[in-house]
Structure 1
Amino acid sequence: MPSLSLTRTVQVLALLALSLLLLYVGRLFLVPLVFAAILAMLLAPVARQLERWGAGRIVSGLLCVLLLLAFMGGICWAIGAQAANISEQLPQIQQKVQVLLQQAQHWIQQRFGVAPREQIQFVEEQVAKFGQSANRYLTTSLKGVAGLLGGLVLVLLYLFFMLWGRHKFREFFLRLAPSEQHQEVNQMLQEIMRVGGQYLSGRLLSVLFLTVVYGVGFLVIGLKNALLLALIAALPTLVPYVGAYVGAIFPLIMAMVGGSAGQLLPTLGVILFAQAVDNNVVEPLVMGSRLNLSPIFTIIAVVLGELLWGIPGMILFEPLTAILRIVCSHVPALHPYAFLLADEAHTPQWIKRVKSKSKQLL
């Protein structure tokens, strides 16, 4: 019996290692495919509604793709329109940066005894070293942009064909199982579709909430280009945990170099307030326990996703882990793994009451 248990453990670890290797090796193929699958889960209700109104599958799929492109284009237009205002303020920003640099040089000289000339010489040496590798960084950046555009085209193509053939994909999974298990498989597929779509919609609603609160807060404290700063601060929060810190950097820098000296702390206060409300009110309401993932495995999913797929993995591995938990919960032999991945915390009563009242109103 111990030898059998050891053999089973080795088999599970070997399967896990092989799966991670395949995920890493096939990331260029899998990332656009998984992005398209999550987006298809989000847009499937829209496609069904269009088909009820008389549109065919091809037309409904094309309209969903166009809707996604319009949404992305609107975000890019808003950022571009606001970014033009910053270019007009560059002379003032440069003057403020020079003043801050002079203050920093004076502080370093007093604190460490390094003269400003030596500081400038050190910076020039670092710039020279950076310039030697600038061509390599530029080439890498251009490849990254080309890869991003190519990946976007693949995502849109995959998305269209997934929406068009979603009924066939469902029938395929049903045919893999015996007829007596069709009800169980159908329930599992419905849960996966619901979790995938609700996760992404919840993230987008969270970003929208943060954009509005940031924008209003930045306008109240008099921060210039409030809408642009709000968008830049909110969009990185699509990445769990890390995104909130990354998004906060740019508004704080702009408050320091583009605003007055008294705007830094109010800007930080707006960011902290918005994040506190989003984490404790908005996300529990719009997402709640739909993923039903243990916090430790949520963090593991984000870290593992970054290691294997980079930033896209940080976004995708959380819903993928939730889908894995659903599959394990519907396979008797994998129930222990579903129990391990599941969240042991219960949904707060106030969230249940709000949701029940909203359903009654609707």
Structure 2
Amino acid sequence: MVRGDRLQSVVHGAALALIVGWVLYVGKQVFVPMVFGVLVVYVIIGLARALTALPLVGPRLPAPLRYALSIFGISVAIAAAVSLVVNNFGRVVQLVPTYQDALLQRIQQLAEFLGLQAAPTWTALREDFLARVQLQDLIGTTVVSVTGIGMTVLIVLLYVTFLLLEKRVLPAKLHAMSDDPADVARIHHVLDSINTRTGQYLSLKTLINVLLGVVSWAMMAPFGLEFAGFWAVLIAVLNYVPYIGSFLGVLFPVAWAIVQFGDPGTVITLLLLLTTAQFLIGNFLDPYLMGNSLNLSPFVILASLLTWGGLWGIPGAFLAVPITAVLAIVLSEFPGTRPIAVLMSRNGRLHGRLHGRLGGPPRARAPAGPPA
């Protein structure tokens, strides 16, 4: 009977996972902005808390002012990024004919280098490629995508506004959820773990990504690479995606350098510099600052990247790590699902650097909701 009950639980769990996955896939237009809104709220709260560390002035700043400064700073950063993208698209449109000719020349040089020019179908293949892939059409499609992203950003900002308003009444709602103080304390404990570990990950990861973007820009600008600022922002954003983001962060600017310069020495030098920056920051600075804050296995991170990327596309790749970390924390709080959390962890121990054992007894007193 015990084995039958376990098999039944496994079957029910698998069926539930399939149903939840189908709902997430079908409703990605609704869920993706919502999750991004939650993460932006974490960044706002984390920045507001960081302001208290300012010497002399920080501890005296009232909470509303700290939140206002945090929101203002994030809004300025988003506006600057949008302005950079719009301006770069305008410059790309102007330079399209030049770079299309340059792309044709690079293909010709590659054909000559590989000895393929004598092939009877090479010229036809090259002309057919440029006839089918027009950079103007590609840019037009990209502009439409950017417009859709702009609408999504507006929806995310609406979610952020209402979530910040909801934060004020969240403690009262948590206390009203149960009459048992132990249950309320357990909920507080789970939320406190999620808030601290997720907020810590986002704040440190953002700091590392900004540093990587600045270093990459300092490497690209002396070469005169077009749109170096845009590539630096793209590198910083892509670094939120584990493993794949680092590869794409080097691929895109180097591919553009091939079209712009065509000089193997310049391209190889730029490739080595950007790869070195990714390697040093990703393998030394990132582990030093992040430590084991999320306590996730590398295999689980890769599997979550593929899973959430398959469900939600590119947004899912950016959200994979925070969602998986929250899921691991929640699973660790229930005896039936704690073995799954152990398998998801990096070292088999369910603990964080700040809270100790997550599956242990709830604390008698813990802050309610995201800290101010």
Q: Please say whether Structure 1 and Structure 2 have the same fold, judged by a TM-score greater than 0.5.
A: yes
Counterpart among 207, 211, 214 of residue 213 in structure 2:
211
Cα distance in 2 for partners of 1:161, 1:332 equals: 34
The answer to whether the 8 Å contact 1:293/1:342 transfers is yes
Residue 290 of structure 1: SS of its match in structure 2? Answer: coil
Higher helix share: 1
Single out whichever of 62-71 and 334-343 deviates more from structure 2: 62-71
1:8 and 2:9 correspond: yes
For residues 170 and 321 of structure 1, do their structure 2 counterparts lie closer, same or farther at Cα, with a shift above 3 Å needed? Answer: farther
Gaps of 5+ in 2: 53-57, 355-372
The answer to whether the 8 Å contact 2:242/2:301 transfers is no
Matches within 5 A, 1:120-159: 120-126=123-129, 142=144, 144-159=145-160
Which residue matches 2:32? 31
For residues 296 and 174 of structure 1, do their structure 2 counterparts lie closer, same or farther at Cα, with a shift above 3 Å needed? Answer: farther
Matches within 5 A, 1:1-362: 1=1, 2-47=3-48, 53-54=61-62, 56=64, 64-79=70-85, 96-107=102-113, 110-111=115-116, 113-115=118-120, 118-126=121-129, 142=144, 144-177=145-178, 178-219=180-221, 223=225, 226-259=228-261, 260-344=263-347
For residues 41 and 273 of structure 1, do their structure 2 counterparts lie closer, same or farther at Cα, with a shift above 3 Å needed? Answer: same
For residues 318 and 93 of structure 1, do their structure 2 counterparts lie closer, same or farther at Cα, with a shift above 3 Å needed? Answer: same
Which residue matches 1:357? none
Deviation at 1:78, TM superposition (A): 4.2
Cα distance in 2 for partners of 1:217, 1:130 equals: 31
For residues 304 and 52 of structure 1, do their structure 2 counterparts lie closer, same or farther at Cα, with a shift above 3 Å needed? Answer: farther
Single out whichever of 200-209 and 12-21 deviates more from structure 2: 200-209
Q: Which amino acid aligns with 1:75?
A: A
Single out whichever of 23-32 and 78-87 deviates more from structure 2: 78-87
Deviation at 1:331, TM superposition (A): 2.4
The answer to whether the 8 Å contact 1:301/1:318 transfers is yes
Cα distance in 1 for partners of 2:124, 2:232 equals: 37
CA deviations 1:95-119 (Å, max 9, x no partner) are 65454233234346x347414xx43
Single out whichever of 13-22 and 68-77 deviates more from structure 2: 68-77
Single out whichever of 61-70 and 6-15 deviates more from structure 2: 61-70
Residue 301 of structure 1: SS of its match in structure 2? Answer: helix
Q: Which amino acid aligns with 1:279?
A: G
Which residue matches 2:55? none
**Larger RCO of the pair (alpha carbons < 8 Å, separation 6+):** 2
Cα distance in 1 for partners of 2:130, 2:225 equals: 31
Cα distance in 2 for partners of 1:264, 1:206 equals: 25
For residues 343 and 77 of structure 1, do their structure 2 counterparts lie closer, same or farther at Cα, with a shift above 3 Å needed? Answer: same
For residues 155 and 88 of structure 1, do their structure 2 counterparts lie closer, same or farther at Cα, with a shift above 3 Å needed? Answer: closer
Percent identity of the aligned residues? 27
CA deviations 1:312-357 (Å, max 9, x no partner) are 11111211111111112222332212212111189xxxx99xxxxx
Single out whichever of 144-153 and 306-315 deviates more from structure 2: 144-153
For residues 283 and 173 of structure 1, do their structure 2 counterparts lie closer, same or farther at Cα, with a shift above 3 Å needed? Answer: farther
For residues 72 and 304 of structure 1, do their structure 2 counterparts lie closer, same or farther at Cα, with a shift above 3 Å needed? Answer: same
Gaps of 5+ in 1: 353-362
Cα distance in 2 for partners of 1:297, 1:241 equals: 13
Residue 333 of structure 1: SS of its match in structure 2? Answer: coil
Single out whichever of 234-243 and 335-344 deviates more from structure 2: 234-243
TM-score by length of 1: 0.80
For residues 275 and 138 of structure 1, do their structure 2 counterparts lie closer, same or farther at Cα, with a shift above 3 Å needed? Answer: closer
For residues 216 and 296 of structure 1, do their structure 2 counterparts lie closer, same or farther at Cα, with a shift above 3 Å needed? Answer: same
Cα distance in 2 for partners of 1:213, 1:64 equals: 25
Deviation at 1:239, TM superposition (A): 1.8
CA deviations 1:179-225 (Å, max 9, x no partner) are 12333321221111122222222332222121122122234566565
Deviation at 1:64, TM superposition (A): 4.3
Q: Which amino acid aligns with 2:170?
A: F
Deviation at 1:32, TM superposition (A): 0.7
Residue 332 of structure 1: SS of its match in structure 2? Answer: coil
Which residue matches 2:361? none
Cα distance in 2 for partners of 1:228, 1:339 equals: 41
Deviation at 1:148, TM superposition (A): 2.0
CA RMSD of aligned residues (A): 3.5
For residues 343 and 42 of structure 1, do their structure 2 counterparts lie closer, same or farther at Cα, with a shift above 3 Å needed? Answer: same
Q: Which amino acid aligns with 1:44?
A: I
Cα distance in 2 for partners of 1:249, 1:290 equals: 29
For residues 153 and 114 of structure 1, do their structure 2 counterparts lie closer, same or farther at Cα, with a shift above 3 Å needed? Answer: same
